[in-house]
């Protein structure tokens, strides 16, 4: 396997640093997707063939490739880290609902802010999530190329570019950048241009970038490497050789395999044939890994051989796990490899992790469905704040059974299903039509709660 994470040296050293997991967050349209695509695309261009590894749900960019992209900025001998693993789905929804050990799944984050647009509602939301989870982050002040009069040299470090720009361009850009730095400090962070920051753990580095022209991207990667090197060394005990531990991103049916798990492995190793324990809808599922799958480079979507089998996967990495009995597995649930015969102990650990996200239910209330355990918990918290009781809360798409359950609610205002980021199965549509159970679905929690509140007000007005 060409994965840098399987470096035999790091495998032999239980104290070795694993690849840090990086998430990209920010307001819609500020450039998260473009930034990720550009980092991935350039890594493919710059790196040797096969150097970049496409994972399930994540992309690994090895240190050598980063140092090629960053040129003089990154000396690979300064780092012990194997590279960076970028989670592919940007946005704070996926960030906040993907967790490990009760914290965020990502070790570090990039907060993307459009430099012309500044702080926006989802920027604020992302910041409060980063604060709550204690995740270190850097700010990518994006779209600097749109500044009038901006005329950079290719391949030049961004600090130098800024110094050399016409007065018109720098003053405009500086104004925006200082406003951003001011907003960050109002949010409780001391922030500055990254080249003035000494300690990236107590100060937020702001990196002016353009995801379009790639200016500043080498700088951003350099800062991410430096920050993670420090953070991983000082803050995290990493186990790259123990039994694998991960989080389920998605449960998907795959032809020839049945239900499979897309997993981000954040600690240890998983091998074909391993016994694993996975959080399920009822009790934890105990099963055996039949196959570990990674995307085949340049595979055609329609061909059957989209995946290739690998014998083992080492953290941090994304991987698809095929195993029997995964139908009841839940997105957001933990996955643990069992070495030796302590299946019961591991089952108990998984049970405990799941119990942390248990939702209080009432005799009468609404039905809640969400796409992951983390989002279900976030929904339950929001509803609790709004004093809306919950009759049942589950991970998964809306099924006819949910309609039947909602129908049993006593009060009319509780004969409701709230769906967060889920689909409605066709049979459930029919059941909704038949029963008159009300459905609200959205992918923004506060909007969903607002929609529901408005509905209740309307009902109450009509009943007066």
Q: Which residues are known binding-site members for GTP?
A: 26-33, 88-92, 142-145
Smaller CB separation from ligand GDP, 15 or 41: 41
Residue among 34 and 159 whose Cβ is closer to ligand GDP = 34
According to CB under 6 A, which one of 4, 20, 30, 222 is a site residue for ligand GDP?
30
Angle between helices 32-46 and 63-70 (to 10 degrees): 100
- By the rule CB under 6 A, 320 interacts with ligand GDP: no
* Distance, C-alpha 352 to centroid of its chain: 22
**Which of 119, 452 has the CB closer to ligand GDP?**
119
Nearest to 4 by CA among 81, 75, 111: 81
> Does residue number 212 form part of the binding site for ligand GDP (CB under 6 A)?
yes
Q: Contact between 28 and ligand GDP (CB under 6 A)?
A: yes
When asked if residue 99 is in the footprint of ligand GDP (CB under 6 A), the reply is: no
Q: Cis (ω within 30 of 0) for the bond into 316?
A: yes
Kindly state the DSSP code that residue 30 receives in the 8-state scheme.
Answer: S
DSSP 3-state of 330: coil
Cβ 397 to ligand GDP shortest distance, Å: 25
The C-alpha angle 11, 17, 23, rounded to 5 degrees, equals 120
What number of CA atoms fall less than 13 Å from residue 42's CA on the CB side? 20
Please identify, using beta-carbon distances, which residue of 64 and 145 lies nearer to ligand GDP. 145
- Exactly one of 7, 11, 29, 272 binds ligand GDP (CB under 6 A); that residue is 29
Does 31 contact ligand GDP by CB under 6 A? Answer: yes
Kindly indicate which of the ranges 26-34, 195-203, 295-303, 432-440 contains the residues binding ligand GDP, using the contact rule CB under 6 A: 26-34
Which one-letter DSSP state was computed for residue 423? Answer: -
> Interface with ligand GDP includes 152 (CB under 6 A)?
no
Please, what is the minimum distance in Å from the beta carbon of residue 31 to ligand GDP?
3
The string of DSSP codes covering 56-109 is SSEEEEEHHHHHHHHGGG--GGG----EEEEESS-SHHHHHH-EETTEES-SEE
Smallest gap from Cβ 146 to ligand GDP, in A, equals 5
DSSP H/E element including 317: strand 317-322
In the bound complex, what is the minimum distance in angstroms from residue 127's beta carbon to ligand GDP? Answer: 15
Q: Which long-range contacts (CB under 8 A, 24 or more apart) does 115-118 make?
A: 115/141, 115/142, 115/143, 115/144, 115/147, 115/173, 115/176, 115/177, 115/180, 115/208, 116/143, 116/146, 116/147, 116/176, 117/27, 117/30, 118/176, 118/179, 118/180, 118/183
Please report whether residue 142 would count as binding ligand GDP according to CB under 6 A: yes
The residue whose two tokens read 């107590």 is 202
Q: What backbone phi and psi angles, to 5 degrees, belong to 453?
A: -60, -45
Q: Are 236 and 107 in contact (CB under 8 A)?
A: yes
Choose between 29 and 450: whose C-beta lies nearer to ligand GDP. Answer: 29
Q: How far is the CB of 116 from ligand GDP (least distance, A)?
A: 9
Segment 33 to 52, residues that bind ligand GDP, using CB under 6 A:
33-34
Q: Which is nearer to ligand GDP, 7 or 156 (CB)?
A: 156
Single residue of 21, 25, 169, 211 touching ligand GDP by CB under 6 A: 211
Minimum CB–partner distance for residue 321 and ligand GDP (Å):
28
Residue 12 touching ligand GDP (CB under 6 A): no
Number of residues that bind ligand GDP (CB under 6 A): 16
Is residue 399 within 8 Å of residue 416, measured between CB atoms? no
In the complex, minimum distance from the CB of residue 208 to ligand GDP, in angstroms, rounded to a whole number: 10
Tell me how far apart the alpha carbons of residues 320 and 326 are, in angstroms, rounded to a whole number: 12
145 binds ligand GDP, rule: CB under 6 A:
yes
* 32 in contact with ligand GDP (CB under 6 A): yes
Q: With beta carbons less than 8 A apart as the criterion, state whether 158 and 135 touch.
A: no
Nearer to ligand GDP, 17 or 87 (CB): 87
Cβ–Cβ < 8 Å for 55, 316: no
Q: Residue 336, interface with ligand GDP (CB under 6 A)?
A: no
Sign of the torsion formed by the C-alpha atoms of 208, 210, 54 and 50? negative
C-beta of 33 vs 407, nearer to ligand GDP: 33
Binding-site string for ligand GDP from residue 248 to residue 287, where x marks contact by CB under 6 A and - marks none:
----------------------------------------
Told to check if 176 binds ligand GDP by CB under 6 A, we report no
Instruction: Select the residue interacting with ligand GDP from 90, 244, 318, 365 (CB under 6 A).
Output: 90
From the list 178, 187, 181, 185, the residue with the least C-alpha distance to 124 is 187
CB 180 → ligand GDP: shortest distance, Å? 15
Could you say whether residue 117 binds ligand GDP (CB under 6 A)?
no
**Taking CB under 6 A as the rule, does residue 174 contact ligand GDP?**
no
CA 382 to chain centre: 20
Binding site residues, ligand GDP, CB under 6 A: 26, 28-34, 90, 142-143, 145-146, 210-212
């Amino acid at each position: 396997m060409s994965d840098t994470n399987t470096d035999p040296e790091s495998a032999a050293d239980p104290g070795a640093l694993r690849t840090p997991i990086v998430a990209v967050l920010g307001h819609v349209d500020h450039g998260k997707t473009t930034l990720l695509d550009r980092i991935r695309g350039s890594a493919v261009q710059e790196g040797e063939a096969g150097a970049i590894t496409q994972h399930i749900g994540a992309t690994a960019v090895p240190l050598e490739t980063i140092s090629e992209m960053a040129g003089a900025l990154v000396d690979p001998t300064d780092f012990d880290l194997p590279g960076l693993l970028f989670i592919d789905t940007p946005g704070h929804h996926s960030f906040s609902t993907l967790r490990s050990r009760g914290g965020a799944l990502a070790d570090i984050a990039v907060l993307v802010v459009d430099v012309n647009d500044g702080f926006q509602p989802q920027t604020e939301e992302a910041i409060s999530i980063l604060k709550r989870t204690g995740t270190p982050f850097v700010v990518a002040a994006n779209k600097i190329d749109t500044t009038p009069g901006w005329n950079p040299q290719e391949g030049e470090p961004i600090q130098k570019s800024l110094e050399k720009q016409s007065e018109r361009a720098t003053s405009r850009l500086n104004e925006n950048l200082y406003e951003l730095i001011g907003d960050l400090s109002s949010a409780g962070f001391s922030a500055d241009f990254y080249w003035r920051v000494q300690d990236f753990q107590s100060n937020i580095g702001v990196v002016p970038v353009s995801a379009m022209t790639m200016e500043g991207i080498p700088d951003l990667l350099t800062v991410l490497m430096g920050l993670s090197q420090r953070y991983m060394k000082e803050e995290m005990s990493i186990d790259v050789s123990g039994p694998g531990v991960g989080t389920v991103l998605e449960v998907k049916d795959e032809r020839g395999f049945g239900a499979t798990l897309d997993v981000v492995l954040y600690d240890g190793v998983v091998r074909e044939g391993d016994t694993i324990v996975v959080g399920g809808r009822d009790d934890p599922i105990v099963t055996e890994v039949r196959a570990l799958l990674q995307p085949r480079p340049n595979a055609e979507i329609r061909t059957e051989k989209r995946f290739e089998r690998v014998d083992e996967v080492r953290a941090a990495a994304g991987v698809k796990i095929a195993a029997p009995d995964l139908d009841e597995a839940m997105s957001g649930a933990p996955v643990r490899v069992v070495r030796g015969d302590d299946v019961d102990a591991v089952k108990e650990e998984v049970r405990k992790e799941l119990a942390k996200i248990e939702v209080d239910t009432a005799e009468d209330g609404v039905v809640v469905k969400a796409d992951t355990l983390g989002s279900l918990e976030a929904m339950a918290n929001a509803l609790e704040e709004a004093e809306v009781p919950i009759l049942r809360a589950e991970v998964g798409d809306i099924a006819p059974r949910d309609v039947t359950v909602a129908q049993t609610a006593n009060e009319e205002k509780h004969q409701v299903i709230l769906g967060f980021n889920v689909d409605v199965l066709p049979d459930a549509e029919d059941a909704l039509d038949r029963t008159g159970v009300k459905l609200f679905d959205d992918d923004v929690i506060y909007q969903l709660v607002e929609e529901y509140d408005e509905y209740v007000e309307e009902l109450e007005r009509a009943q007066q």
